[in-house]
């Protein structure tokens, strides 16, 4: 994508999101909000439509998601959609932006705020990244469905790519700071950051593809912290799992460590 087209795409996305946000705030020029209660009601309606859009995308995929299916799931009248979204495309784009904003608010921003404490920051980043309210089959299936169409839809690529780049950057910064903290200057930080990001990404793919009853969040956390313990053993002892101790039958066994201890997270 050349610079002119990339700029045009970003402007298009901003304008679409701006229009949608105005609808959320109830600031339509032809439908000014009567009072704070009405604004709150409109915000709630818009969010209900976005959640219904995500559910429709999960059930039918982007190409088969229609306005009729969305309003049926939301149990709302079709006419109300036009108040918040100019088109089906804008409705889908708003759903994707909602997922991207959620990842940013729940995972990226808290980690960025704790860069001075890289150990606590990376613990929170992994836990938040795998939190059920974010890492669930419904939302992740939709996220990957958008990624699957990103090659032909520049708006999707802009949103998905931007949040992924920001996520990768914060992981790289935290790995760099951990290496300095443990005086491991010989480490290939770029490769390690890619390794941790890849580990978390594969877990997300498992969540998106596997039945929910086959996903074990504690095992997923242990895999992420197991990767860190192999590189930063002082900060993350073998079997480290923040905040809890698991029964031995819930911990993975290895040839060299048949018994794995889950340590409580020390005070920062």
Question: Does residue 129 contact residue 200 with C-beta atoms inside 8 Å?
Answer: yes
Distances (CA, A) of 262 to 204, 226, 243: 23, 11, 9
Do 147 and 205 lie in a common domain? yes
Residue 98: predicted pLDDT: 96
Q: Which tens digits make up the pLDDT trace of 83-118?
A: 899 999 999 999 999 999 999 999 999 999 999 999
Exposure string of 167-179, with b = 16+ CB inside 10 Å and e = fewer, is: beebbbbbbbbbb
Is the confidence at residue 51, as pLDDT, over 70?
Answer: yes
Do 76 and 156 lie in a common domain? no
Residue 34: predicted pLDDT: 57
Q: For the purposes of burial, counting CB atoms within 10 Å of the CB of 219, is it exposed (0-12), middle (13-18) or buried (19 or more)?
A: middle
Instruction: Evaluate whether residue 116 is within a structural domain.
Output: yes
Instruction: Evaluate whether residue 9 is within a structural domain.
Output: no
Instruction: Evaluate whether residue 12 is within a structural domain.
Output: no
Could you list the residue range(s) of the whole structural domain that residue 43 is in? Answer: 17-86
Residue 63: predicted pLDDT: 86
Which residue, 48, 71, 86, sits at the end of a domain? 86
Instruction: Evaluate whether residue 176 is within a structural domain.
Output: yes
Number of domains in the chain: 2
The whole-angstrom separation of Cα 28 and Cα 209 is 40
Q: What is the CATH number of the domain that holds 36?
A: 1.10.10
Predicted TM-score of the model (pTM):
0.77
Residue 31: band (very low, low, confident or very high) from pLDDT cuts 50, 70, 90:
low
């Amino acid at each position: 994508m050349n610079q002119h087209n990339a700029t045009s795409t970003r402007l298009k996305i901003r304008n679409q999101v701006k229009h949608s946000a105005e609808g959320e705030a109830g600031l339509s020029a032809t439908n000014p909000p009567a009072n704070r209660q009405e604004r709150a009601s409109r915000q709630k309606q818009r969010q209900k439509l976005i959640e219904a859009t995500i559910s429709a995308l999960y059930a039918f995929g982007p190409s088969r998601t229609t306005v009729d299916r969305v309003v049926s799931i939301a149990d709302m009248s079709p006419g109300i959609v036009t108040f918040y979204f100019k088109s089906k495309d804008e409705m889908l784009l708003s759903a994707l932006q909602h997922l991207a904003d959620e990842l940013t608010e729940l995972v990226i921003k808290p980690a960025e705020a704790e860069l001075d404490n890289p150990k606590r920051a990376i613990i929170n980043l992994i836990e938040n990244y795998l939190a059920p309210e974010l890492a669930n089959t419904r939302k992740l299936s939709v996220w990957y469905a958008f990624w699957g169409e990103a090659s032909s839809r520049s708006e999707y690529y802009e949103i998905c790519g931007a949040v992924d780049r920001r996520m990768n950057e914060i992981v790289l910064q935290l790995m760099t700071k951990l290496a300095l903290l443990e005086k491991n200057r010989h480490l290939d930080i770029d490769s390690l950051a890619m390794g941790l990001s890849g580990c978390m990404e594969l877990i997300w793919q498992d969540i998106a593809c596997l039945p929910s009853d086959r996903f074990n969040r504690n095992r997923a956390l242990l895999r992420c912290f197991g990767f860190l313990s192999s590189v930063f053993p002082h900060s993350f002892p073998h079997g480290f799992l923040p905040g809890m101790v698991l029964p031995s039958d819930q911990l993975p066994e290895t040839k060299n460590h048949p018994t794995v201890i889950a340590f409580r997270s020390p005070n920062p």
